[in-house]
Amino acid sequence: MLLHELLDGLPAYELRGSADVEVTGVCFDTRRLRPSDLFVAVPEANRDGHIFIEQAVERGAAAVVAERPPAQPLPVSLVLVPRSKPALADLAATFHDHPSRKLRLIGVTGTDGKTTTCELAAQLLRSGGVPSGFLTTVTLDYGLGAADNRTRQSTLESPDVQAGLASMVEHGCRAAVLESTSHALALDRLRNCAFDTAIVTNVTHEHLDFHRTWEGYLEAKARLLDLVQESRAVKSGRKTVILNRDDRSHQHLTRRVPVDELSYGLSPPADLRAESIEHVPSGSRFLMKSPWGDVAVQTPLVGQFNVYNCLAAAAAALVEGLSLQQVANGLAGARAVAGRMERIDEGQPFQVIVDYAHTADSLEKVLRVLRPGTPGRLLCVFGSAGERDVEKRPAMGAVAARLADYVVITNEDPRFEDAGRILEEIAAGAMAEGRLRGADFECIEDRRQAIAHAFAGATAGDTVLLAGKGHEQCIIVRDEKLPWDDRAVARELLRNLSPPSPVPTDTVGREGSFTGDDRCA
């Protein structure tokens, strides 16, 4: 593509040099730059891309986009723009010929449940015959099959989002589902994404370090609603905003919905409702009531919050034209997201669950979900990361002490901190709740030994929760990333347990395994 064709996609710019230059890609990171790419210098919070302009030119950049000219004149064309971050998104979308206009595009934002809802929505669409790609914290599926997301970014930067959508179009996808974090929305990563449907799962008090106030955080999420409205100008078709009627964000967001609203919740007047909910060892059952009619749903996903995630994903699928029965069939066959309430079953007589909960709040939610499905004792293995949110440690210790019967406190990415001290800070919270070391909890630094200790103490009817690492593939000790996978370690330890004495299956919750085994490697 020639530079002048790309520049047509910018609202304002000043060109210094020729526009008749061949450009083979749009890039903002010199480590990924290929010769003849257009380099965009983006000022980020932790580094200013303008200092890499010289390096980009040395590596063969065809031209440079920047907010200010470098001190020395450049041997290649220079394009000056008022703000290079939105320009990056505009150039990437133009380069890939606006792929989001060729797909039905669904965005999911919210504090919790984004990844789960995205993956469920994509699974439903696919099972209903709509080829779909999706990009989440856990998985990147460009229409070619699922791959682990190893970027540690829930929403990729705009060139990767646009390239991803282009790949989906190329591989025959008719829909795409994008996890849309409030950071990404605020930082223009999803600019030029013509969303047809926006889902907001919930908005609680999190990430206020970045957005300052709850209202500011809510505003960032509401940006997804604006993108749905804006997409009318470039793409026809139904536009819908799907909101959680039971969340306090609803009353604020409903006023801002510029298109059709579809709400979900557990009681009227939500449009899509789950009624007569039953939590059973093999998952959840409920009656889904909707403007399209009613259908009985049975899903292997556990916990009330997953009922909400199912409703949100079902709403999106119904909007795309799936029938009620297709949605019910899809939910029946749904797989849990890797490391989210994922059940590990090696035939042991107790239940083992791996979950990503790594805050006091989410740990509390998960323990409360697991309690009713646990006829025996609830055991919990968890830690707290080094050099991050240090004040949450005693709070996590206290929550676990209150809601679990036995707690094993262990390592979780200690980094350069003294691992033993982190464990003691968590233990202080448990002791403040009156729990005794040895009898009620134990501190074991080595995570494998900690898990083995919990398994050794578990008997039929118990549940062991391994919390905090979820799908993650490493544990960070000092600055080393040591390979680690809670699920793989749990399986290995369970296989080596001595064979259990036979127990009635109705107490062990073994029917209907729904693990994401294929992603564990």
Ligand X SMILES: Nc1ncnc2c1ncn2[C@@H]1O[C@H](COP(=O)(O)OP(=O)(O)OP(=O)(O)O)[C@@H](O)[C@H]1O
- What is the binding site for ligand X (CB under 6 A)? 112-116, 137, 154, 201-202, 305, 308-309, 340, 355-357, 362, 365-366
Shortest distance in whole angstroms from residue 178 CB to ligand X: 12
**115 and 181 in contact (C-beta within 8 Å)?**
no
Shortest distance in whole angstroms from residue 118 CB to ligand X: 8
Write down the residue that tokens 């693990």 correspond to.
515
Sorted by sequence, the CB contacts under 8 Å of residue 32 that are 6+ apart come out as none
Q: Collapsing DSSP states into helix, strand and coil, what is residue 120? A: helix
Q: Total number of residues binding Mg ion (CB under 5 A)?
A: 4
180 forms part of the interface with Mg ion (CB under 5 A): no
Nearer to Mg ion, 342 or 442 (CB): 342
Secondary structure element (H or E) that encloses residue 307, with its range: helix 304-319
Nearer to ligand X, 141 or 355 (CB): 355
Residue 515: name its binding partner from ligand X, Mg ion, none (Cβ under 5 to 8 Å by kind). Answer: none
Residue 357: name its binding partner from Mg ion, ligand X, none (Cβ under 5 to 8 Å by kind). Answer: ligand X
Residue 113: name its binding partner from ligand X, Mg ion, none (Cβ under 5 to 8 Å by kind). Answer: ligand X
Cα 42 to Cα 507: distance, rounded to the nearest angstrom: 57
104 forms part of the interface with Mg ion (CB under 5 A): no
Q: What is the residue type of 351?
A: Q
114 forms part of the interface with Mg ion (CB under 5 A): yes
Pair type for strands 351-355 and 342-344: antiparallel
Nearer to ligand X, 370 or 379 (CB): 370
Percent composition of the chain: helix, strand, coil (DSSP 3-state, to 5)? 35, 20, 40
**Sheet strand arrangement including 463-467:** 342-344, 351-355, 463-467, 378-382, 406-409, 441-443
Closest residue by Cα to residue 193 from 300, 100, 265: 100
Residue 197: name its binding partner from ligand X, Mg ion, none (Cβ under 5 to 8 Å by kind). Answer: none
Shortest distance in whole angstroms from residue 356 CB to ligand X: 4
HSE, side-chain direction, 13 A CA sphere, residue 502: 1
Cα 180 to Cα 161: distance, rounded to the nearest angstrom: 11
Q: Which residue is nearest to ligand X (CB)?
A: 113
Nearer to Mg ion, 41 or 177 (CB): 177
Shortest distance in whole angstroms from residue 202 CB to ligand X: 6
Shortest distance in whole angstroms from residue 267 CB to Mg ion: 27
Cα 291 to Cα 273: distance, rounded to the nearest angstrom: 10
User: What token pair was written down for 254?
Assistant: 């409903």
Residue 309: name its binding partner from ligand X, Mg ion, none (Cβ under 5 to 8 Å by kind). Answer: ligand X
Nearer to Mg ion, 62 or 334 (CB): 334
Please give the residues from 119 up to 158 whose contact with Mg ion meets the rule CB under 5 A. Answer: 137, 154
The pair phi, psi for residue 246, each rounded to 5°, is: -90, 0
Q: Count CB atoms within 10 A of the CB of residue 43.
A: 15
Nearer to Mg ion, 116 or 374 (CB): 116
Residue 282: name its binding partner from ligand X, Mg ion, none (Cβ under 5 to 8 Å by kind). Answer: none
Nearer to ligand X, 36 or 153 (CB): 153
**384 and 469 in contact (C-beta within 8 Å)?**
no
Nearer to ligand X, 120 or 493 (CB): 120
Nearer to Mg ion, 114 or 239 (CB): 114
Residue 28: name its binding partner from Mg ion, ligand X, none (Cβ under 5 to 8 Å by kind). Answer: none
Cα 64 to Cα 77: distance, rounded to the nearest angstrom: 6
Site stretch for Mg ion (CB under 5 A), options 114-122, 235-243, 445-453, 497-505 = 114-122
**290 and 101 in contact (C-beta within 8 Å)?**
no
**50 and 43 in contact (C-beta within 8 Å)?**
yes
Cα–Cα–Cα angle for 229, 230, 236, nearest 5°?
Answer: 80
DSSP 415: B
User: What token pair was written down for 32?
Assistant: 């990924």
Q: How far is CA 417 from the centre of its chain?
A: 27
The pair phi, psi for residue 67, each rounded to 5°, is: -90, -25
Residue 485: name its binding partner from ligand X, Mg ion, none (Cβ under 5 to 8 Å by kind). Answer: none
Shortest distance in whole angstroms from residue 112 CB to Mg ion: 9
Residue 240: name its binding partner from ligand X, Mg ion, none (Cβ under 5 to 8 Å by kind). Answer: none
Residue 340: name its binding partner from ligand X, Mg ion, none (Cβ under 5 to 8 Å by kind). Answer: ligand X
Shortest distance in whole angstroms from residue 186 CB to ligand X: 14
Candidate list 77, 84, 100, 115; residue touching Mg ion; CB under 5 A: 115
Shortest distance in whole angstroms from residue 36 CB to Mg ion: 35
Nearer to Mg ion, 114 or 191 (CB): 114
Nearer to ligand X, 299 or 309 (CB): 309
Site residues (CB under 5 A) for Mg ion? 114-115, 137, 154
